[in-house]
Structure 1
Amino acid sequence: MAARIDLTLDCMDAQLLAQFWKTALGYIDEPPPAPFETRAEWLAQFDLPDDESEDDGAWLCDPDGAGPRLSLLKVPEPKAAKNRLHIDVRVPGHGRPAERWARITRESERLVKAGGNVLEVFDGHHMVMADPEGNEFCVAAAAAED
C-alpha cells in the first residue's frame, strides 16, 4: 500500500496564500479534526505562544478527497531560494496541442488575476508561475490518463 502525502508550504501570510491556492486548486478549508468544532478549538490544545494566532496557519483539502491536503504555515524567515519541490496545476481536457495550449494560457491568466505571476513560458508545453509569495509552480495540460 502506498503512503498518502500532505503538502506543507511555509509562508509569511497563510491567509493570503490560502485564498490563492483555493482558487488555483479548487480546494476548500479543511474542517478541524473530530471532535473539535472549530480550528480555534483544535489549536487551543497546543498552548500556542502569545505571538502566534489561528491566522498563522491554513489547512486546505480537495473537496473530492482525491488530492493531497495542503497546509500553509507562517514562518519568520522569507523565501530565500528556488523551490526544490513544486506543485503542478494540471489543466483538464484533451485535444490538439493548440487546444491544450489555449487552456493552459487561460488558466495562467486566471491565476494572474488571483495574484500569481508568470515567470517563464515554455511555449506549447507549460508555464512556470509563482504564487503571491514567490513559490514556484507549473501550469500544464493533464496527462492522457487524467
Structure 2
Amino acid sequence: MTTRWTMTIDCTDPALVAGFWRTALRYADADPPRGWDTWESWLVDQGVPEEEWNDGASLSDPDGVLPSISFLKVPEARTTKNRLHLDLQVSGGRDNPAAQRETAIRQEVARLVEAGATVVHEVAQNGVLDHFWLADPEGNDFCVV
C-alpha cells in the first residue's frame, strides 16, 4: 500500500501564493472542516485572531485524484534555489510534434505569467523548445514542459 501524501509550500503570503497555484493547477480551495460552512466560521469558532487568518491556505484537486497542497506562512523569504519543484506537463509528451509541444508550452506560460509567474529561463535542446523555468509570485521555481 502506498503512503498518502500532500505538499506544503512555505511562503510569506499564503493567500497570494495559494491564489497563484489555484490558477496554475486549476485546483480549488480546500473545503472547510466537516461541520463548518466556511473557513471563516471555523477560524472564528476556534478563536483564531483575525490577524492570523492568512497564516495558511489549502488547495485540493476538484476531481479528488491528485494530492492537496498547503501553504504555510513563514517569517523568512525564499533565499536559495528549490531542491524540489513542480513540472507542469502540458505539451503532451515527446511523441507529439515539436511545433505542437511548443505551442502548448508557450500558451501555458502566457497564462501563468498573466496569473503572476515570472519567466526565469527558456530551455531549448538541439534548437527545439524543451521547457520553461518559471517562478511563482514569491520566487518558488517550477517548470512548464
Same fold (TM over 0.5): yes
Tell me the residue number matched to 1:88.
Answer: 87
Q: What code does the residue aligned with 2:100 have?
A: E
Tell me the residue number matched to 1:143.
Answer: none
Structure 2 distance, partners of 1:36, 1:84, is 37
Structure 1 distance, partners of 2:87, 2:44, is 34
Q: 1:53: how far off?
A: 1.6
Query: Does the CA contact (< 8 Å) of 1:15 and 1:57 recur in 2?
Result: yes
Structure 1 distance, partners of 2:45, 2:106, is 45
1:126-145 paired onto structure 2 within 5 Å: 126-140=131-145
Query: Does the CA contact (< 8 Å) of 1:39 and 1:54 recur in 2?
Result: no
- Give the secondary-structure state (helix, strand or coil) at the position aligned to 1:125: strand
Structure 2, unpaired ranges of 5+: none
1:70-109 paired onto structure 2 within 5 Å: 70-91=69-90, 93=92, 95-109=96-110
Q: 1:47: how far off?
A: 5.4
- Give the secondary-structure state (helix, strand or coil) at the position aligned to 1:55: coil
Query: Does the CA contact (< 8 Å) of 2:27 and 2:59 recur in 1?
Result: yes
Tell me the residue number matched to 1:29.
Answer: 29
Tell me the residue number matched to 2:60.
Answer: 61
Structure 1 distance, partners of 2:138, 2:84, is 15
Q: 1:91: how far off?
A: 0.8
Tell me the residue number matched to 2:119.
Answer: 118
Q: 1:93: how far off?
A: 3.7
Structure 1 distance, partners of 2:28, 2:35, is 20
Query: Percent identity, aligned pairs only?
Result: 46
The 4+ residue runs of structure 1 with deviation greater than 6 A are: none
RMSD (Å), alpha carbons:
1.9
Q: 1:45: how far off?
A: 6.6
Can you list the C-alpha shifts for 1:66-98, whole angstroms capped at 9, x where unaligned?
211011111111111111111111116463121
Can you list the C-alpha shifts for 1:99-123, whole angstroms capped at 9, x where unaligned?
0111011111111111101111112
Tell me the residue number matched to 1:9.
Answer: 9
Aligned length: 139
Query: Does the CA contact (< 8 Å) of 2:91 and 2:102 recur in 1?
Result: no
Comparing 83-92 with 15-24, greater Cα deviation is found at 83-92
What TM-score do you get using the length of structure 2 for normalisation?
0.86
